[in-house]
């Protein structure tokens, strides 16, 4: 009956989303009056999960790079071995890759983009975002085994001190004829998916030569950089930075939009960011209606000032 | 090579989202429906395979008669055949199972779906098709080349990308990058005329039951007014972000 989560790690260390997922899993386990089990793969700091309410860790090790088929097989086997009826995953690219495979294997009803703990556990109802963050829906999962995917930053990280027992888990090896032949992962920059703060630039920046403004502000804040769709369409920035309805979703704590008008398709992708700041020289820009804080002014004057003021603020508060 | 492109029929990206019947139904009044943008990137990539290597391209939708205009648009862009499974889409596994049933009749080397639909945002259907059929699968696909029966695909992941080789048959979740925005095709008159003559086959559903049910919808709570800060007083902005919003 346990609740099972897949706690993702990278380079042997749990990701922050794994701790958020554990916190979320704990809330479900409490509702169902059961314990919380986590599966990890190639993770070295499993103990940490005990701080977030995990009672047991099934620690698997697997050869080679991430492989969705093999990881999905491990998670499915773990779910079967402990008889888990509720499985929670995060919404990282990897988890969203493997989760549908698990759902089919376990014949589980699966709901993604869940924004909070279940509304009720019997019937099992959750709230999820739909229409690219323009609305929510309440969904009911009717299958015996239920699967939920937690939206990033929707639940937060909450401590729940327990001691997790750690058991080695050796799944039967699953064959896969898919092979990773090249990996190109930025190691020194913050990614949009992981970032607490995202600084985004639009067409108002006039050209790629001005992007040092966005990058300097992002560096000062330890933030990821992003852009509007036309900016990536024109090749000013890589398309991996394009956020919005047809780009990446942003669910950061702070989103700073500079020279972005705030078209409905852009807003759809960033709606679930908690606090939005807009810098735009047009007071009529639609983004001001969706923002928490705004500065009506010229980005080329406001942004350098902001970087300077932030640096002195950080020096004072260091 | 035979390619199947899964087409989701979704509200135009500018649509106002409203609900009717006690917030249990999406209000389609005045809403324009389009090919899901991720599916359109996939369809365009399929057209390139067709032009370069003579691949045949079928498109499929699970939905009521109202989706036929969207399928006709896919035919006008250049798909050869359209298939509509005549039932409302209830949940992702049902949709995936209906598509797999159709795939039983015609075998496909490549199945292209979108990374996610912009209405349901499930990101589930392509992975489920692959799992049900025992095919290989790659999500967030931003590059795909096929040489004989071997594919080389690029997958975007958080903070980077990876190149993967896999034998066919393959299912991918397509997104921007697979082709660029500027590569998308607007159907021309000839395409539209030809689309009228192309086959659009309606097949009856085979699946019963439902795993996930949508009970109701709600809209986000209205936002408070923006707090404007004078550009000459950026210190105030920093203080608000630190003391009030507590985000820096
Ligand atoms: C099917 C479809 C899907 C789409 N999906 C997306 C999506 O996912 N993401 C997305 O972003 N867009 C998307 N769009 C595009 C969207 O409709 C807008 O065109 C786009 O977001 C506008 O980008 P922008 O704000 O950078 O540019 P603009 O709309 O040109 O806005 C530039 C802004 O900069 C301001 N500005 C100019 N100079 C300065 C200055 N010196 N200082 C400060 N401000 C200045 C201007 O006042 C203006 O508000 C989509 C469109 C379609 C049709
Ligand atoms: N009713 C449907 N008919 C055909 N294809 C669909 C349908 N629903 C979803 N798809 C495909 O699956 C992809 C992902 O959809 P979703 O799982 O809803 O995010 C879409 O981009 C489509 O390619």
Burial of B135 (0-12, 13-18, 19+ CB in 10 A): buried
CATH number at residue A150: 3.40.50.620
Residue B171: per-residue pLDDT: 98
pLDDT tens for each residue of A245-255: 999 999 999 99
Segment A102-119 mean pLDDT: 98
In the predicted structure, residue A138 carries a pLDDT above the cut 90: yes
In the predicted structure, residue A68 carries a pLDDT above the cut 80: yes
B96, B132 Cβ separation under 8 angstroms: yes
For the domain spanning B2-215, the CATH number is 3.40.50.620
Residue A64: per-residue pLDDT: 86
Q: Is A280 in the pocket of ligand 1 (CB under 6 A)?
A: yes
pLDDT tens for each residue of B117-130: 999 999 999 999 99
Does A297 map to a domain?
yes
Residue A248: per-residue pLDDT: 92
H/E run at residue A77: helix A68-82
Band of pLDDT at residue A315, cut at 50, 70 and 90: very high
In the predicted structure, residue B137 carries a pLDDT above the cut 80: yes
User: Cα distance from A46 to chain B (closest Cα, Å)?
Assistant: 22
Segment A281-303 mean pLDDT: 98
Tokens of A208: 């790629």
In the predicted structure, residue A188 carries a pLDDT above the cut 80: no
Residues of chain A with pLDDT > 90, as a percent, come to 94
Segment A194-204 mean pLDDT: 96
A87, A4 Cβ separation under 8 angstroms: yes
Band of pLDDT at residue A173, cut at 50, 70 and 90: confident
Computed over every residue of chain A, the mean pLDDT equals: 96
- Does residue A62 sit in the same domain as residue A150? yes
- Does residue A46 sit in the same domain as residue A160? yes
C-alpha of residue B128 to centroid of ligand 2, in Å: 11
pLDDT tens for each residue of B216-246: 999 998 889 999 999 999 999 999 999 999 9
| Cβ contacts of A109 on chain B, cutoff 8 Å | 91, 93, 211-212
- Does residue A147 sit in the same domain as residue A27? yes
Residue owning the nearest CA to atom 14 of ligand 2: B116
Nearest to A293 among B156, B220, B227 (CB): B227
Q: Which residue shows structure tokens 């829906």?
A: A137
Q: Relative to the CA of B37, which ligand 1 atom is closest?
A: 1
Q: Which residues are A37's β-sheet partners?
A: A4, A56
- Does residue A156 sit in the same domain as residue A8? yes
Q: Cα–Cα distance between A183 and B162 in angstroms, integer?
A: 4
In the predicted structure, residue A187 carries a pLDDT above the cut 80: no
- Does residue A203 sit in the same domain as residue A160? no
Residue B193: per-residue pLDDT: 96
Segment A80-96 mean pLDDT: 97
Q: Give the closest residue to B84 by CA, choosing from B67, B96, B101, B97.
A: B67
C-alpha of residue B96 to centroid of ligand 2, in Å: 8
Nearest to A275 among B11, B212, B245 (CB): B245
- Does residue A8 sit in the same domain as residue A156? yes
B216, A138 Cβ separation under 8 angstroms: yes
CATH number at residue A237: 3.40.50.1220
Q: Cα–Cα distance between A69 and A237 in angstroms, integer?
A: 33
Residue A65: per-residue pLDDT: 85
Question: A277: helix, coil or strand?
Answer: strand
- Does residue A25 sit in the same domain as residue A150? yes
Does A162 map to a domain?
yes
Residue A189: per-residue pLDDT: 79
- Does residue A146 sit in the same domain as residue A21? yes
Residue B118: per-residue pLDDT: 95
Q: Cα–Cα distance between A115 and A91 in angstroms, integer?
A: 11
For B206: left if phi > 0, alpha if psi spans -120 to 50, otherwise beta; the answer is alpha
| Cβ contacts of B177 on chain A, cutoff 8 Å | 239-240
Contact B121/A129, CB-based, under 8 Å?
yes
Q: How far is CA B161 from CA A184, A199, B152, B164, B177, in A?
A: 5, 21, 13, 10, 12
Q: Is A259 in the pocket of ligand 1 (CB under 6 A)?
A: yes
**What are the structural domain ranges in chain B?**
2-215
H/E run at residue B129: helix B125-133
In the predicted structure, residue A123 carries a pLDDT above the cut 90: yes
pLDDT tens for each residue of B20-46: 999 999 999 999 999 999 999 999 999
pLDDT tens for each residue of A214-232: 999 999 999 999 999 999 9
Q: Kindly identify which residue of chain A lies nearest to residue B226, measuring between CA atoms.
A: A292
Band of pLDDT at residue B103, cut at 50, 70 and 90: very high
Does A268 map to a domain?
yes
Segment A125-148 mean pLDDT: 97
Counted domains in chain A:
2
In the predicted structure, residue B5 carries a pLDDT above the cut 80: yes
Residue ranges making up the domain that contains A219: 197-317
Residue A186: per-residue pLDDT: 80
H/E run at residue A79: helix A68-82
Q: Is B36 in the pocket of ligand 2 (CB under 6 A)?
A: yes
For B47: left if phi > 0, alpha if psi spans -120 to 50, otherwise beta; the answer is alpha
Residues of chain A with pLDDT > 70, as a percent, come to 100
- Does residue A203 sit in the same domain as residue A289? yes
Q: How far is CA B135 from CA A84, B59, B61, B81, B132, in A?
A: 26, 19, 20, 23, 8
C-alpha of residue B231 to centroid of ligand 2, in Å: 46
């Amino acid at each position: 009956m346990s609740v099972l989560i897949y706690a993702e790690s990278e380079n042997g260390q749990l990701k922050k989303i794994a701790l958020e997922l554990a916190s979320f899993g704990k809330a479900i386990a409490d509702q169902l009056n059961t314990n919380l089990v986590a599966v990890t793969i190639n993770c070295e700091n499993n103990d940490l999960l005990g701080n977030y309410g995990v009672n047991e860790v099934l620690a698997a090790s697997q050869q080679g790079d991430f492989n969705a088929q093999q990881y999905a097989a491990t998670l499915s086997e773990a779910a079967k071995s402990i008889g888990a009826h509720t499985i929670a995953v995060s919404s990282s690219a990897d988890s969203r890759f493997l989760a549908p495979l698990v759902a089919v294997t376990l014949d589980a009803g699966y709901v993604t983009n869940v924004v909070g703990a279940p509304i009720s556990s019997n019937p099992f109802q959750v709230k999820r975002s739909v229409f690219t963050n323009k609305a929510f829906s309440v969904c009911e999962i009717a299958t015996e085994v239920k699967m939920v995917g937690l939206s990033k930053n929707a639940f937060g990280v909450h401590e729940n001190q327990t001691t997790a027992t750690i058991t080695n888990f050796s799944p039967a090896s699953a064959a896969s004829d898919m092979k990773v032949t090249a990996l190109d992962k930025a190691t020194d920059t913050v990614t949009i998916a992981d970032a607490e703060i995202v600084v985004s630039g639009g067409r108002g920046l006039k050209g790629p030569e001005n992007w040092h403004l966005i990058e300097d502000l992002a560096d000062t804040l330890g933030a990821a950089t992003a852009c509007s769709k036309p900016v990536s369409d024109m090749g000013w920035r890589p398309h991996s930075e394009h956020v919005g309805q047809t780009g990446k979703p942003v669910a950061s704590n702070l989103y700073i939009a500079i020279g972005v008008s705030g078209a409905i398709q852009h807003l759809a992708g960033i709606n679930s960011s908690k606090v939005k700041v807009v810098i735009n020289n047009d007071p009529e820009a639609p983004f001001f209606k969706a923002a928490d804080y705004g500065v009506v002014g010229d980005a080329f004057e406001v942004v350098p000032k902001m970087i300077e003021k932030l640096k002195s603020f950080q020096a004072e508060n260091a | 090579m035979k390619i199947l492109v899964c087409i989701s029929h979704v509200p135009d990206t500018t649509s106002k989202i409203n609900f009717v019947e006690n917030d249990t139904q999406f209000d389609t009044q005045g809403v324009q429906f389009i090919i899901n943008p991720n599916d359109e990137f996939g369809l365009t990539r399929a057209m390139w395979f067709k032009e370069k290597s003579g691949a045949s391209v079928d498109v499929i939708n699970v939905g009521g008669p109202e989706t036929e205009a969207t399928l006709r648009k896919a035919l006008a862009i250049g798909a050869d055949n359209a298939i509509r499974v005549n039932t409302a889409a209830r949940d992702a596994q049902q949709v995936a199972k209906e598509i797999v049933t159709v795939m039983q009749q015609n075998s496909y080397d490549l199945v292209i779906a979108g990374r996610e639909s912009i209405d349901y945002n499930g990101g589930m259907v392509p992975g489920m098709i692959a799992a049900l059929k025992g095919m290989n699968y790659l999500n967030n696909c931003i590059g795909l080349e096929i040489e004989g029966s071997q594919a080389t695909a690029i997958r975007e992941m958080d903070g980077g990308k990876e190149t993967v080789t896999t034998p066919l048959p393959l299912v991918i979740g397509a997104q921007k990058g697979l082709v660029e925005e500027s590569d998308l095709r607007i159907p021309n008159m000839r395409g539209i005329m030809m689309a009228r003559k192309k086959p659009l086959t309606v097949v009856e559903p085979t699946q019963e039951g439902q795993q996930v049910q949508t009970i109701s919808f709600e809209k986000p709570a209205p936002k408070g007014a923006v707090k404007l800060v004078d550009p000459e007083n950026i210190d105030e902005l920093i203080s608000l972000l630190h003391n009030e919003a507590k985000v820096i």
